[in-house]
A and B are shown apart, each in its own frame.
Chain A
Amino acid sequence: MSDNILYSIKNMTVEYKTRAGIVRAVDNVSLDIQRGEILGLVGESGCGKSTFGKALMRLHDGPARISAGELWFDGRDLMSLPIDQMPQIRGAEIGMVFQDPMTSLNPVQSIMDHLTETILAHEPDSSEASAKIRANELVEKLGIRHERLKEYPHQMSGGMRQRVMIALALALRAKLVIADEPTTSLDVIVEAKFLDLLKELQQEFGLTILLITHNIGVVAEVCDRVAVMYAAKMAEVGTTADVFANPKHPYTQGLLKSVPNIKLDEEELFKMKGEPPNLLKPPSGCRFHPRCPFAMDVCFNEEPPFEQVAKDQMASCWLYSEKAKGKKLEAHHG
């Protein structure tokens, strides 16, 4: 394993048990997160990207479970750790920022309590006074005034709360921060500020950030690399520049075309045909084939491998597969 890789996810599958049957929200997905990068994870609602993010901390309970795969974080296999040792990893090494800052803080604890408690929970030896000093230093970097530490979550704005969530992740020098749609509920100005802050922090602390979002614009702005998920599968992974300039997977191509662009004078916005599949009964073969303009026979029957299609770019599509070259190419239009 290369030292450059912080978190290596290998063939992970996450299942939900429902009354209608077993849903695989993440199906046999592999991804490498490199040290110090901001990796964007994009996809439609319900494609499994949030489930993927939570699974990285083994944060699932109830009907969900990780049924297969290996999670190599910083040289350790998290799947082989007993689940009651996970709290030591959570917060201390992997932090998380949630979608809705309005509800992700305990309403009956002040901001200071949140911070000191997190520090003390992981470092029982440090004193409360030193924890307070650290909390003060931390919020200063994040642009929160000291006086506000006494306040309760409901007294702060959404942007402030998201900063507090970041502060919580940074309080213990987490190596990886998973940000699950952190800007969805913020307005554009606050969103821009927050993204700037993320970038700054990433450079200052050498943070690695997994940014889960459905907003292509956010990805283009801050991410070094981008991973595209479709129907519980990884569709394409590559550097942001490559993927945006030269998208390989038809889904990525459609996704990029459907972003409104003021410079292009198109009469109507591109709409991808069809609907995202029902994960209870996913389509056979390639999951995108019912919506794919380039669908071939092989796409109906066989699942495409996830493999290198260009330098620093991987995709799972038969179009680029050597294996498919020998088979009959026959485009289906519809």
Chain B
Amino acid sequence: MSYQNENPISSPPEGVSWEAELKKVGFLRRILMGRKWYKVDWWFVVISSFAVLGFIIVAIAPGLFAPYKPDVLVGPRFLAPNEIPQTSVLIVPADSGITELKDLAVPENAARPQIGVVSGFSTAGDLNTQSQVIDEELKNGTSGLRLRPKISRYASLDELLTALKNNEINAAVLISTEFDQVKNKYPTLREANTLTGESVVTHGFPLGTNDIGQDILSRMIWGTRIALIIGFSSALISLFIGVPLGLFAGFAGGGFDRVLSLVMDSLYSFPGLILAIAIAAVLGPSIMNIIVAISVLYIPTYYRIVRGQTLTVKEEVYIEAAKSIGARKNEILWRYIFPNVIPSVAIIFSVNVADAILTGAGLSFLGLGLPPTIADWGIDLARGQRFIQTAWWMITFPGMAIMLVVLSFTLLGEGLTEIFNPKLRDR
């Protein structure tokens, strides 16, 4: 036949024509169209399944990955990612018996101690604050001692330490890391203690600390567990309730179908988050309640999709053909209708897990989800929101965690559907 070669509409399957088309479009569209042009779905699935697997492993054993417990106060507040905290330490001559700032206190009328700092650092402020605290204690005490140091400012570290070596001043206050660098030059000086008496934190935190000094990375890792528990359980519960209801309603029809559809539609007509808020508010904050609230939200989604699909599939010729080869009602429902309905369920499930994680985070964000002691991304978001201008890392990293999980689940779901549905396989 002569018209065999004409095929004007088909997309360019091979060669370089898609490359030419690529140049015409923007980056976002390129990613979207990539699946059509050069079949990148395969990569989507691999990458997202690794991501999902990673999240699951982290959720199973967060203790292996997190450096700290989520509720431990590990260091200074509001520490930026990887910022090494500046601890002020007290430097004294090696032969003096001073072990902490308090030891510098003198009687009311004696000469006030001279303490040197390098100007331009936070040390002077720390010294002032801390000595006022100690002085207040002493004033109320019975010892008669006071701590009102004279603060001398020096232009450089060397000047300060030389002055201390020559006994011009009684002590010096330095950033701990700076003293470590010049320790060897001044063998007659030693580090007495930190100003506050707490131990020195000499390392930073990869993602910084929050407003009460908890490690954000650890909280994120522990939060994975809660997020996945909420996401999976609520999506599974609504699946196990919604899918059978939809199947039976679509297959049986009649009054059962009508009543159930009415109930589901009225559930569906509520705005999602509002309904979840209402349920969660009534039940009170706990993981179980949040799961119940979210699953109620998604049952109608499964029901409607599955019922609609069942109604469509039920009328297909192959169902009639199945009857004509002697298939029974049970077989038709589970062997013929169910497998043809399940691809759409798989899509909803993956998107649903993602959505449930979002809703769970939203509830926690509003303070309705979980008790605030639990490490949860939503709670962290809510907390970080108050400090968004001073500590961007508090809200950014939990937000990214939520986005990554949601994205991986969605991509995995979409990709898997295309792989497992034989109808789509050859496209």
Contact = CB atoms under 8 A, between A and B. Distances in A.
Interface of A: 57, 59, 84, 87-92, 94-96, 98-100, 103-109, 117-118, 121-122, 152, 154-155, 165, 168-169
B326 A59 contact: no
Nearest to B340: A108
A108 B325 contact: no
A122 B328 CA distance: 11
Interface in B300-331: 316-318, 320-328, 331
Given A117-B335, A121-B331, A155-B426, A107 B325 contact: no
Contact of B317 (A84, A92, A103): A103
Contacts of B316: 103
A103 B318 contact: yes
A59 B324 contact: yes
A165 B322 CA distance: 10
B248 interface: no
A156 to B, nearest CB: 12
8 contacts: A59-B324, A87-B323, A87-B328, A103-B318, A105-B321, A108-B421, A109-B335, A168-B325
B374 to A, nearest CB: 42
A92 B324 CA distance: 9
A238 B336 CA distance: 40
Contacts of A96: 321, 324-325
B134 to A, nearest CB: 78
Chief secondary structure at chain B's binding surface: helix
Given A106-B336, A108-B339, A98 B326 contact: no
B120 interface: no
A88 B422 contact: no
A104 B327 contact: no
A96 B317 CA distance: 12
A154 B423 CA distance: 7
A155 B427 CA distance: 12
Contacts of A121: 325-328, 331
Given A103-B316, A108-B339, A95 B324 contact: yes
A107 B326 contact: no
B264 to A, nearest CB: 24
Nearest to B424: A154
Contact of A90 (B317, B323, B422, B423): B323
Contacts of A105: 318, 321
B324 A91 contact: yes
A266 to B, nearest CB: 31
Contacts of B426: 154-155
A118 B326 contact: yes
A107 B340 CA distance: 8
Nearest to A61: B323
Contacts of A109: 335, 339
Nearest to B325: A91
A92 B339 CA distance: 25
Contact of B321 (A98, A122, A152): A98
B340 A98 contact: no
A34 B95 CA distance: 124
A36 B342 CA distance: 43
Closest 10 CB pairs of A and B: A91-B326, A91-B325, A96-B324, A90-B326, A103-B317, A104-B321, A87-B326, A108-B339, A104-B317, A152-B422
A117 B317 CA distance: 18
A44 to B, nearest CB: 22
B327 to A, nearest CB: 6
B331 to A, nearest CB: 7
